[in-house]
Amino acid sequence: MATKPKKIPMRFLLWWHRHIGLTVAIVAIHLAITGILLNHTSDIGLDKAYINNSTVLNLYDIKLPEQLPGYKIENNWLSHWNDVIYFNDQVIAESMQPLRGAVITAHFYALATSEEIWLLTIDGEIIEKISAPGEKLGDIVSIGTQGNNVTINTEQGVFKADNDLIAWQPVKADSINWSQQAYVPKELTELLFAEGHSISWERLLLDLHSGRIATRAGTLLVDLAGVALLLLAITGFTIWLKRRKK
């Protein structure tokens, strides 16, 4: 005669149900709060509010420098941070090339990266990007003006451009007004740091919700919490069935 399978004692189920519930309660509260906030990020502006806290940004390997170098032309600042070139607080374009300086000419602003010269309007709009003859002159080290002509200091020496910035000829480094690097004012620096990356409060909430904020360990914790919630549902349903049969 076959023996009947042993039934799981009610006390055993209650013990597991209680302890699983206590274990995942904190994670469940965390998921509930972050989930509710994520449903309303656009309503409360969290999708467009960027984090400016160095501790949080360090979690994303984003380092904020103590001071931001830049170049002042008239009352405007040109700066480069996080692969973006700014005209005051306005994004001009993305560029991985370092900024080498900016000067004023009779008709436009001229900005130099290590490989290009950009012509800008006085409002910071790009007119044209001109590739410097790097094969002949080498990378640009700095930019300046000699009279009304743009000059560049390169790995191969100092060169002056014609009026159209097409032909370059070597010149002596005398009487050249070189662009001088300075530090961007604190208020503008803080504004650029706050808007110069993609880590918004919405992104932080999403990473907290999924556990990605703590890399692999965080996602594993959320996965384990999901399994625990599943076990909680199973033990709860089993307890309900047992009590119903009584």
Residue 6, pLDDT above cutoff 80: no
Strands of the sheet containing 116-120, edge to edge, are 99-104, 109-113, 116-120, 126-131
Residue type, 99: L
C-alpha to C-alpha distance for 246 and 236, rounded to whole angstroms = 16
- For the segment 84-143, what is each residue's pLDDT rounded down to a tens digit? 899 998 888 888 889 999 999 888 999 999 989 999 999 999 999 888 765 667 789 999
The more confidently predicted of residues 43 and 7 is: 43
Joined together, the tokens standing for residue 153 give: 């200091």
The rounded mean pLDDT for the chain is 80
- Global pTM value: 0.59
Q: So what's the pLDDT on residue 246?
A: 59
Task: Give the residue extent of every domain in the chain.
Answer: 10-49+200-245, 54-195
Other Cβ atoms within 10 Å of 215 Cβ, number? 11
Q: Closest by alpha carbon to 93, among 118, 114, 61?
A: 118
53-62, 192-201, 213-222 — which one is most confidently predicted on average? 53-62
Joined together, the tokens standing for residue 84 give: 């973006």
Report in angstroms the alpha-carbon separations of 237 from 7, 13, 206: 15, 10, 31
Q: So what's the pLDDT on residue 10?
A: 62
User: At a CB cut-off of 8 Å and minimum separation 6, what does 102 contact?
Assistant: 71, 73, 78, 109, 110, 111, 112, 143, 179
